[in-house]
Each structure stands twice: as C-alpha cells, then as structure tokens.
Amino acid sequence: MRWSSLNSLLLVLLASVAFDGILALPLPDTDVLYPRAPTPPKRSKPPPGTPPQTRSKTAAQQQSAERPRSPPQTRSRTAAQQQPAVRAKTPSPQRVKTPPPQNPAGKGKQPAARGQSPPPAAGHKATTRASDFKTSNYRSKAIAQANVYSPGQNKVVHRESTPSQLGTLHADHIFEAQLANRVATQQGLATPQRQAVRQEINSDKNLVLAMDRLNINKGHQNTNVIRGAPSNPTPNTQRYMETVHPQGQKVAKRLDEVAGTGQAFQDAHKDAARKTGTETSKKKGGS
C-alpha cells in the first residue's frame, strides 16, 4: 500500500515534468516551413543631370536591325488598268425654252381684255401677233354704232336695239387683224406705223356685228389663206364675205395711206378674196 502510493506520486511528478518541458519547447519557424519570395532591391534614382540609360540590345536584335529591308511589293497593273474607265455620256435632249409673254402695256396700266393685247410701246420691238392689232374696246364700239349684217337682206343695216340684244352678236373686223399683221410683218413696219394701222383696224368703218358662226368661219378662211391651206367657206359665210368685201377694200386703201406701203394692204385683201372664192363684182355693202 505504501509502495503503490509512492509509485503513483512518482508517476504524477514525471508527468508534470514532461508536460512542462513540452510547453517550454520553442515554436517552429514559419519562414522555414513556408519560405518567402526574395524582395527585389530598390533601384536608386540617378542624380539630376545624368543622361537616361538605354536598354542594351542583344546581338540578335542588333543583327536584325542592321539587316536591310526590302520595299513592299505592289501588284503591277497594265496600262489599261491604270487608266480610269471613262463612262460614255449620252447627250440629253435640249429643251426649248418658251419666252415669257411680254407686257407691252407697261407697268401700272390696266391689262387689256381677254383675247386682245395693248399696242406696242414706242421703242419696243414690233410683235408679230395678230391680237396686238385689236383693242380692248372694239366690241363695245361695234355695239355702240349698231351696224349689223342681216342674213335675210344680205346687207349691213343699222339696227336700233338694246346693248343686251346686240351683245349676243360677234364684233367682226372686216379687214381681218391677222391679215393686217401679215402685211405689217412683210413690210417691216416700225412701231409708229403699226400703231397707225392698229387704229384704223379698230375704227368704226372696219367693225360690223354678225352672227357668231359667220364671224368664226370668216376668220378661219383668212387664216387658211395666210397659211397656204385651201379655203372652203360655208355658203352663208361666202355671201357675208362678198357683202362686206367692198368696205374692206376701202379700209385697205386707208391702211396703205397711214402706213405708207403703196398698195400692199389692198393687194393682200384682194388676194384673200380671190383664194376664198369671194365675188365682189355685183356686191356692195359696208357702212
């Protein structure tokens, strides 16, 4: 009993000494177990004024730099390829510009009635339009004088009627304006002569009221004569033209006098009567 207690005490003493020795052992070095990467040395800054150092090239790099370089190769082109292709252009058709209508009346004046043009101003180039020989008031002038062609009597009579009744008729120029324009153009009349002709064309002696179909057909026949086309008036139109032809010849004589054209207007009026088949030997009329 005594020896067992001693043995137990001895064992406890040895155990405490061994445990205390274990605690007194130094800890293992972590740098040995886990080695760290070496820290690179810090580069010292060169003093001010020192030229910068360049990295030295290796022998292979120097040899590659000294080797001459060949120029880049380009694909050679033929002479036909080098010249740019020229595209053939198709000429476009030229457009004919129509000149704008002139205003012979001048700025600020009241425009003429529809279908008629004012007289050409002095110094302007003479126009070749037949409408320029018609005034804007020739219709009202014809209604005021009331000289009317009567188909039943086949003559021009003075009819006392109201303007509203006479307004249903057409105002006809016995000597046609288109024929006067043709003669004036052929004779090369200047502006003052054209104005004198225009005044006579629209005078009372050259105006008569007639039925619309007679006036229209008569104008067509004179236009055909000017263009060289055949004339074929209706029977009633031909009778009307025969009736007023003597008065038209008197007007033509007056036109030659004011324009100084000899017998140009008279010859033109006779030629138109001949080509339209107008008989004048037995017919008299006018105003």
Domain ranges of the chain: 130-275
Higher-pLDDT residue of 115 and 238 is 238
For CA atoms 59, 60, 62, 66, the dihedral sign is positive
pTM greater than 0.75 (yes/no): no
Helix (H), strand (E) at residue 79: helix 79-82
Q: Quote the CA–CA distance of 271 and 64 in Å, as a whole number.
A: 109
Tokens of 245: 């032809």
- Cβ-based burial of 173 (10 A; exposed 0-12, middle 13-18, buried ≥19): buried
Quick check: helix, strand or coil at residue 209?
Answer: strand
> Could you read off the pLDDT of 62-98 as tens digits, one per residue?
666 666 666 656 565 665 555 555 566 666 666 666 6
Query: Stretch 8-13: mean pLDDT, rounded?
Result: 80
pLDDT, one tens digit per residue, over 240-255 is 999 999 999 999 999 9
